[in-house]
Structure formats: C-alpha cells, structure tokens
C-alpha cells in the first residue's frame, strides 16, 4: 500500500496542473473565434478556420510531446519546458490584446472600410497562438502519464485505483474547461480580452510552478538512450517483410519467436492470422540461418510483427472518429456565431456570453460520467455479461449516432432562428438580436456532450487496452490526434463549402452575415457525412478482432515455455521454385 500511498500523494499535483492548464489553453481557444472576428477583423469563414487550425495543431502536437519525452527528454523535463513555452505563447497573445498597435483600428463590422490585421500584427498574433499550441501539446501528452506510472497495474487493488485516477483526471480536465468557458470567457466578453488573457497567463504560470514543486515525489523516467524505439521496431517489420516477400511461410507455429530471455519487449504476443503478409518478417531463410549478428531489418520476432498488426487494426477505428470531432468543432465556430445573434438574457442583469453556452456539454459530461460508471455500467453488465457493460466499439458507435442526431437538431434550430429573424425584419442586421431564446441551441449542445462522453472515453479505453504495451502513450494520444484531425477536417469542409456555394457571385452558405446564409444546409451536410462515416465504422467494427489479453508476460515469468520448438533460430523457410 506504500506504493499506492505515494501515487495519491503525487495525484494532487497532477490534478492541479491539468485543471490550470486546461483553463488557460482552452480559454484562449474556446473564444478565439470572437477575438479573431471582432478584434482582428477576419471574415467569418477565416475566423472559423483560425479556431479549428489552432485547436487542431495543439492536439496534434501531443504526438510530438510524447515522442520527445520517450526518446530524448524525461516526462518531467518535457512538461516543465513545454509549460514555459505555453506561458510565453499566452503572454504574446495577451500583448496583442493589450497593445493598440498590435491590432487593427476599431470599426463597424462588415463595413467596407473595416481593415483586418496587417502582416506584422498577424505575425505576432499567430506566433503567440502556435507557441502556445506547441507548449500545450507537450503538457497534455505527458501530464496524465506522470501520475499513472505510480500505480502498479499488476496489483488488483492498484489497478482499480488507476481507473479511479483516470476518471478523476478526465473530470478535472472538464472542470478546467468549464472554468475557461464560463469565468474566463465571461471576463473576456464583459471586462476585456486583455484581462481575460492575463488571468489565463496567471493560471499557466501557477501550473508550471505546481508541476515543478512535485519533483521530489515523481517517479522519473529516462529516455530510451540508444535502445530500440517502437517506431524503429515497426519500420523493421515493414522492411523485413518486404525483403522476405519471396519466402513461403511453412507454419505460423515455427515463426521466429526470439530468445526467451529477450528483454526488449518484456512480453510476447500470440500469432494472429490477419495481415499475414507481415508474417514474412519473422521467416528465416534456410540459406542464411540467423545468428546474433543477423540484421533486425532482415528478421523480426512474432511479437514485433503482432505489435504492427495491433496498430493496423486500430487505425480504421481511429479514422472513423475523426468526423465526430469535426462535428464537435462546430461548437466553437458556426454554432458560437448562432448563439451570438440569439437572446442570451437569463435575467435583466445577467447575459450568457455566447462562447459560455459551450459549457453545457462539459457540465453534462461532469454529471453524466459518474452516473454512467456507477449506474449504467452495472445494469448493462448484468444484461450483457461484459465487464464494461457494453464493448468499447459499441460505446463509440453510440457516440457516432448521437453526432448525427446533433447535426439534424442543429439544422432544425437554425431554420427556426432564420424564420424568426425574417418575421422581425432582421435578416439584413447581422449584429441585431433575434428574439429567440438561446435555450433552443442548448438542445444540440446536450446531444453533442453525450456523443463526446461516449466516444472520447470509449476511444481512450479502447486505445489503451488494445495497443501494444510499449506504445500505449502514443496510442492514447491518438484520442487527441482524432480531435486534431476533426478540427482540420472542419476547416477543409468550410473551405470547400465556401468555394462551391459562392460560385456565380452568391453569398454562399457561410457569409459573414449568417442571417443571409444557409447554415442549416451546412449542418445537414455534416449529418450526411456523419451517416456515411457511421456505415463505414460499423463495417470496420464488425471486421475488428479484439486483442487476446492472455499474452505471455516475460517480466513476470521468465521460465514459461513457448509452444515453438525453435526459439532462438526461428522458422526455416524454403524458397519458391521460381525465386
């Protein structure tokens, strides 16, 4: 229990950092559209793309952050250095909001004389944004793992506590997002962007200090330092399979297993019959039997081959979730602009900032996750017999279906908003308030929140359980990469829609005056794309074969006997007659 006690002594530092970092980075991203559109004077479509490109890059850079920690720096060094970079990025953005010369002159939006930012102003603005994204990627990639490594997964008690740790981590991530969407965005909208960004800066500075303060308690990892990296191992399998393409596989049972005491992996994975072309990487040519000097680019072990197969199996599932995150990206772009034109008054003296409406799905996730875990899962477990109630792939499918529903509802609400705007003669007044309560737009937010809860958590568990052990950090980062690619896909779709619908001189579906556009058609387009994506996902899910978690763990039992008779030499292959 001493090990567990140490883990929970570390956890408060991790939870504090993730809350502060999420509040800081997301307060910039969630209301970035408003700053880009109103202050920097970018067009509606350009401002939307700025948001999606920034958020996409930030989440994509988590892969780089994980790679740096694994290959060159430790997790601690990566977190602290990345945190400092994030501080500098927020500082630059705050300076843009504070110094008049770094922003274009104020003007009436949509006025012909309203100029956007100059090249030098854009350079400072985008420089700050992407320095922030670089730092945030490094922190997000490693902060959860920094705490998780203190739990012993071989202990049944600590394994359960590890699940509690991850659940708490995700809830606090959402709490940080909630602080960003409510308090900090409210400050940006009702006080000033300058004050809002300076508060975000203070949060991130405090986050770096807290992360550094936990140094004596952390279990520190060392970079690979010359030992074989997973990326190199995967490349060796592909190259060896190509080199051995003319060899025949006599029997899977005699493929090259490698020395029993080989510590490169620490475990062995049983052979599977999918992607059998890769099995050639584990075939030994009888004309040149392997020795200790045999090149790993010519001969690999079955476990190396199976690791590549595991990655190839999960990639279609990963790809099928990108469209969902494209839908979620609308919360911060087009849907945000919808909310700005609606009646956001709750009382006579209080008005919801439009960006803060995005807090609704976050609040719903914070409330729904414990309910899902404590009520739904036990009931579903009794009905299905599955340890998780429903499988990971079933959970993801629920999220994908809800994403379709959210876009259909969004289209219907937009049609109602336009109808009310037309009745009150407001179609030519883009800044006027349409007398339609913002409660209407909350419906799609709730559905999107449900979709995100089912898919994000299910996807993270799926990647963690199904990926090879030594690339679990990189595989769980795919959850963030899916978010990233969803944002980039959103930008691409916006560009295509804008190009196609403005041909002939028309305003198109997404003009700066959304009252003159056709956002409902844009939502229906996303619903249609999501429906096609769901069909593809179902096909991939039916094809998918779950990993057998009864793999041999060499770190626990070095004396286990493998079925293969050829352990050190591997399989012997005969060349085809036509070789």
Q: Are 18 and 168 in contact (CB under 8 A)?
A: no
pLDDT given at position 111: 61
Using the predicted structure, report yes or no on whether residue 207 has a pLDDT greater than 50.
yes
DSSP conformation class of 552: B
Strands (E) in 197-322, as ranges, are 283-285
CATH 1.20.1250.20, the chain: domain bounds: 1-220, 312-546
Give the HSE-up count for residue 355: Cα atoms under 13 Å, Cβ half-sphere: 27
Helix (H, G, I), strand (E, B) or coil at 295: coil
Q: How confident is the model at residue 268 (pLDDT cuts 50, 70, 90)?
A: confident
Band of pLDDT at residue 575, cut at 50, 70 and 90: very low
d(CA 529, CA 541): 18
Give domain 312-546's CATH superfamily.
MFS general substrate transporter like domains (1.20.1250.20)
Beta carbons of 237 and 278 less than 8 angstroms apart: yes
User: How confident is residue 427, by pLDDT bands cut at 50, 70 and 90?
Assistant: confident
Collapsing DSSP to helix, strand or coil, 268 comes out as strand
Task: Give the global pTM.
Answer: 0.77
Helix, strand, coil percentages for the chain (3-state, nearest 5): 70, 5, 30
Cβ 20 vs Cβ 206: under 8 Å: yes
Per-residue confidence band for 153, with pLDDT thresholds at 50, 70 and 90: low
304 close to 2: Cβ distance less than 8 angstroms: no
User: Per CATH, the architecture of 1-220 is what?
Assistant: Up-down Bundle (1.20)
Task: At 64, list the tokens.
Answer: 């780089």
Q: With contact defined as beta carbons under 8 Å apart, do 11 and 165 qualify?
A: yes
Q: Is the dihedral of CA 92, 198, 103, 434 positive or negative?
A: positive
Which range among 180-194, 365-379, 517-531 has the greatest average pLDDT?
517-531
Look at residue 564 in the predicted model and tell me its pLDDT. 35
DSSP state for residue 351 in the 8-state scheme = B
Residue whose pair of structure tokens reads 């567990």 in the numeric block? 4
In angstroms, the CA 318 to CA 558 distance is 35
């Amino acid at each position: 229990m001493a090990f567990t006690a140490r883990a929970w002594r570390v956890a408060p530092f991790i939870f504090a950092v993730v809350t502060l970092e999420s509040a800081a980075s997301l307060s910039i991203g969630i209301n970035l559209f408003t700053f880009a559109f109103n202050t920097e004077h970018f067009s509606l479509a350009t401002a939307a793309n700025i948001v999606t490109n920034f958020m996409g890059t930030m989440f994509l850079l988590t892969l780089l952050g994980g790679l740096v920690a694994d290959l060159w720096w430790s997790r601690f060094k990566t977190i602290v250095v990345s945190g400092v970079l994030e501080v500098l990025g927020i500082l630059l953005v705050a300076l843009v909001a504070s110094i008049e010369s770094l922003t274009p002159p104020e003007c009436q939006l949509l006025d012909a004389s309203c100029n956007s930012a100059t090249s030098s102003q854009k350079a400072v603005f985008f420089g700050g944004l992407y320095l922030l994204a670089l730092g945030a990627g490094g922190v997000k990639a490693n902060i959860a793992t920094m705490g998780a490594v203190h739990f012993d997964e071989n202990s049944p008690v600590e394994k359960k506590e590890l699940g509690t740790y991850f659940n708490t981590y995700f809830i606090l991530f959402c709490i940080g997002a909630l602080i960003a969407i409510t308090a900090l965005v409210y400050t940006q909208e009702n006080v000033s962007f300058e004050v809002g960004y300076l508060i975000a800066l203070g949060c991130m500075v405090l986050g770096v200090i807290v992360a550094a303060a936990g140094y004596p308690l952390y279990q520190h990892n060392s970079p690979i330092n010359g030992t074989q990296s997973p990326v190199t191992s995967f490349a060796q399998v592909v190259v060896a399979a190509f080199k051995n393409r003319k060899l025949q596989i006599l029997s899977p049972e005699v493929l090259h297993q490698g020395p029993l005491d080989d510590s490169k992996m620490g475990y062995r994975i049983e052979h599977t019959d999918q992607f059998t072309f890769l099995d050639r990487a584990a075939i030994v040519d009888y004309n040149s039997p392997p020795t200790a000097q045999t090149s790993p680019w010519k001969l690999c072990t079955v476990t190396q081959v199976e690791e590549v197969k595991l990655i190839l199996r999960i990639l279609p599932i990963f790809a099928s979730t990108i469209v969902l995150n494209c839908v979620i990206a609308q919360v911060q772009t087009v849907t945000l602009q919808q909310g700005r034109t609606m009646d956001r008054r709750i009382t006579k003296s209080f008005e919801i900032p439009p960006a803060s409406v995005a807090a609704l799905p976050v609040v719903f996730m914070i409330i729904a996750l414990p309910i899902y875990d404590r009520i739904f899962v036990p009931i579903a477990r009794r009905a299905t017999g599955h340890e998780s109630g429903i499988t990971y792939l079933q959970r993801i499918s629920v999220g994908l279906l809800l994403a379709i529903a959210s876009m259909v509802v969004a289209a219907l609400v937009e049609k109602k908003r336009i109808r009310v705007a037309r009745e009150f003669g407001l179609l030519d007044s883009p800044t006027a308030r349409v007398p339609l309560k913002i409660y209407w737009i909350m419906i799609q937010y709730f559905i999107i929140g449900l979709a995100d809860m089912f898919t994000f958590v299910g996807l993270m568990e799926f990647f963690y359980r199904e990926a090879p052990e030594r690339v679990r950090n990189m595989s769980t980062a795919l959850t963030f990469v899916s978010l990233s690619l969803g944002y980039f896909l959103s930008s691409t779709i916006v560009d295509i829609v804008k190009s196609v619908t403005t041909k002939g001189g028309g305003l198109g579906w997404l003009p700066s005056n959304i009252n003159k556009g056709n956002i409902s058609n844009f939502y229906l387009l996303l619903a249609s794309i999501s429906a096609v994506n769901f069909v593809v996902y179902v096909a991939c899910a039916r094809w998918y074969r779950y990993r057998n978690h009864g793999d041999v763990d060499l770190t626990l039992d070095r004396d286990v006997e493998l079925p293969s008779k050829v352990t050190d030499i591997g399989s012997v292959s005969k060349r085809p007659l036509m070789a």
